[in-house]
Amino acid sequence: MALTNETIKLRLTEKFGELLTGWEEPYGMLTFSGDKEINLKVITFLQEDEELRFRFLTDICAVHYPDNKGAELAVVYHLHNLSDNVRIRFKVFTDINKPDVYSATALYASANWMERETYDFYGVNFVGHPNLIRVLNVDEMTYFPMRKEFPLEDQTRIDKDDEMFGR
């Protein structure tokens, strides 16, 4: 029997109850969020449960919601059950002033690179990551460029004046 979204939701609710919230299914993909303190527990359960078997980490990324006070940064885990070919999304939210999220490197080796990238662009501090340094941007960069307070344009350039280019 193929794994359905209802089954996954049921299994997770049995285990974690009210701790998981925000259930939705955009375009049929089960998405939910949870407290950042239990992110590893949820992922371990998804990975190790004999029925769920989400053993492939497709991606980790972050989203910045500046208006979502106290929970500005979302870290999104994309998990894949290769046996049943089912994908789900799991989000945790964190305060931008204290962006500490537990690292999933112990569960998925591929999380190492993805968490470094997420740190590089959003400044999410993955607690327990073995080597949390910049990976794609220059080492000298002092800010996290994908956060919304930084405009897309390079602020260091002096040859474009505001009047001419509407900046």
Partner 1 sequence: MSRPVQYNNKVKFHGIPEGYMGEGFMATSFEKVISLARKNSIWPLPFATSCCGIEFMATMASHYDLARFGSERVSFSPRQCDLLMVMGTIAKKMGPVLRQVYLQMAEPRWVLSMGACACSGGIFDTYSVLQGIDQIIPVDVYIPGCPPRPEAVLDGFMKVQELVQNEGLRRRYSDRYKDLMASYGIQ
Q: Contact positions toward partner 1, by CB under 8 A?
A: 136-138, 141, 145, 150, 152-154, 156-157, 159-160
Choice between 83 and 155, CB closer to partner 1: 155
Choice between 123 and 145, CB closer to partner 1: 145
What backbone torsions phi and psi does residue 49 show, to the nearest 5 degrees?
-60, 135
Token output for 77 = 């885990």
Minimum distance between the CB of residue 135 and partner 1, rounded to whole angstroms? 10
Choice between 14 and 154, CB closer to partner 1: 154
Token pair 């949390």: residue: 132
Choice between 77 and 119, CB closer to partner 1: 119
Parallel, antiparallel, or unpaired: how do β-strands 56-64 and 73-81 relate? antiparallel
Minimum distance between the CB of residue 34 and partner 1, rounded to whole angstroms? 32
Parallel, antiparallel, or unpaired: how do β-strands 30-34 and 20-24 relate? antiparallel
* Nearest-angstrom CA–CA distance, 109 and 124: 18
Q: Which amino acid is at 77?
A: Y
Minimum distance between the CB of residue 80 and partner 1, rounded to whole angstroms? 29
* Nearest-angstrom CA–CA distance, 73 and 121: 12
Choice between 23 and 150, CB closer to partner 1: 150
Minimum distance between the CB of residue 33 and partner 1, rounded to whole angstroms? 29
Minimum distance between the CB of residue 99 and partner 1, rounded to whole angstroms? 19
User: Count of alpha carbons within 13 Å of 64, Cβ hemisphere only?
Assistant: 17
